[in-house]
Amino acid sequence: MTDIGRDRDPVTGRARNARPRDGLGRPLPRGSASDIERVPDELHMSVDDTVTLAQGYLDAGRPFHAHEVLEALWKTRVPAERDLWQGLAQVAVGLTHTLRGNRTGAITLLRRGASRLDAYLSGGRISHRVDVAGARDFSLDVAEKLANGTDVTREDAMFKLRGTPEP
């Protein structure tokens, strides 16, 4: 039985969704116009280029797109690094849920992402100059605000993947 409503990759047969999306990643009706570019399904970039692109999306208030970029990296990196990128992707999608008004989903993903980052706090694991402690603390802070009923604005939902470089 074929799922006629889904777009599928012609080679792998995996489901893809080519529908246009809004700035928070929500699918728009088929045939709708959107000026929001899509992150390619099979994105392959260096770590530095990926972090730079993800940061650009975060700075623009588009954490869903940052999540997609970080997710592509987590799926292609060595096992010792996957929790780092998956944790950051979960923080980004937690921010997406925050901005969409889904407190429960946001809190869950922000905490889950922070938990994945814990293993990288000691400095013994590869972090690619990512401010792991800052991302983890930020994530837990936003989750706590949401859990306490505090509204989180788009400006409150922005963080830096890399800290300020030392002189």
Q: Residue 104: give the domain boundaries.
A: 47-157
Q: Which positions ≥6 away from 40 have C-beta within 8 Å?
A: none
The reply to whether 86 falls in a domain is yes
CATH (domain of 75): 1.10.3450
The pLDDT value recorded for residue 2 is 44
How many domains in the chain?
A: 1
The pLDDT value recorded for residue 163 is 72
Q: Which positions ≥6 away from 44 have C-beta within 8 Å?
A: 72, 76
What is the rounded CA–CA span in Å between residue 120 and residue 118?
Answer: 5
The reply to whether 30 falls in a domain is no
pTM of the full structure = 0.79
The reply to whether 33 falls in a domain is no
Q: What is the pLDDT along the chain (167 residues), one digit of tens a residue?
A: 444 455 555 665 555 556 666 566 656 566 666 555 665 556 678 999 999 999 999 999 999 999 999 998 988 889 999 999 999 999 999 999 999 999 999 999 999 999 999 989 876 677 888 999 999 999 999 999 999 999 998 888 888 998 755 43
